[in-house]
Amino acid sequence: MGGSSRILLIIADPMLRQTVAEHLGGPAGLAVTEAGSVAEVPATAIGHDVVVIDQDGLAPDSCRILREAGVAAPLLLLCGPGGAPPGCVADAVLAKPLRLGGLAARVAELLARRPAPAGLRLGPWLFQAERRLLSRAGGGGVRLTGKEAAILDRLGRANGQVVPREILLEEVWGYSAAIATHTLETHIYRLRRKIESEPAAAGLLVTESGGYRLALL
């Protein structure tokens, strides 16, 4: 398991959550995001590679809520003798009491099953939205923030067409057109510094009248 793999822990018990996070983030070498409930899951959850969810202390429909929110990563369910709740279709189930070595092994199995990620070709880069990653064919990569990845993903789905500024603000931030903000322009500036060979003369992330587009090759 590599350090680039990202694990989301949804565990209500704070002591158990901390123990699992320290084990997976230490000996197992994974990047771990913690949440105490489904309601606390960050908007960047779609970028994780595996979700570990402890059913104890959570709503019975937590698995369904995650799927409906767009989380497509494999679910590893921790549960007691009663097993998985009705309607929770997990990719793997681990019975409690929990053994940390066994948990790390099951996470490794789920990571190994992942297909080679598809992506969007953007000049010299391959953009993988769910991993928030830009990588080059010759090696090397650039990590993106959740908002940066969401902007590129939305522009990529436009297939080279212009996406109006108002649409980006609404879909990425949930802002209405009436809100005056330079947030989008700030993120575009930072994105260009990451992806453009000459940020001042952008050739990949192009400004158009009223919006932005990607120059797809």
What are the pLDDT digits (tens) for 63-112? 888 887 777 788 999 988 777 777 787 889 998 889 999 999 999 999 88
d(CA 51, CA 129): 17
The DSSP symbol for 81 reads T
69 with 152, same domain? no
54 occurs within a structural domain? yes
Instruction: Please name every residue paired with 52 in a beta bridge, in sequence order, or none if there are none.
Output: 9, 76
- In three-state secondary structure terms, 20 is helix
99 with 155, same domain? no
67 with 85, same domain? yes
Q: What is the pLDDT of residue 84?
A: 77
Domain hosting residue 203, numbered range: 120-214
In 49-145, where does DSSP find H-type helix?
62-68, 100-112
The 10s digit of each residue's pLDDT in 11-35 is: 999 999 999 999 998 866 788 999 9
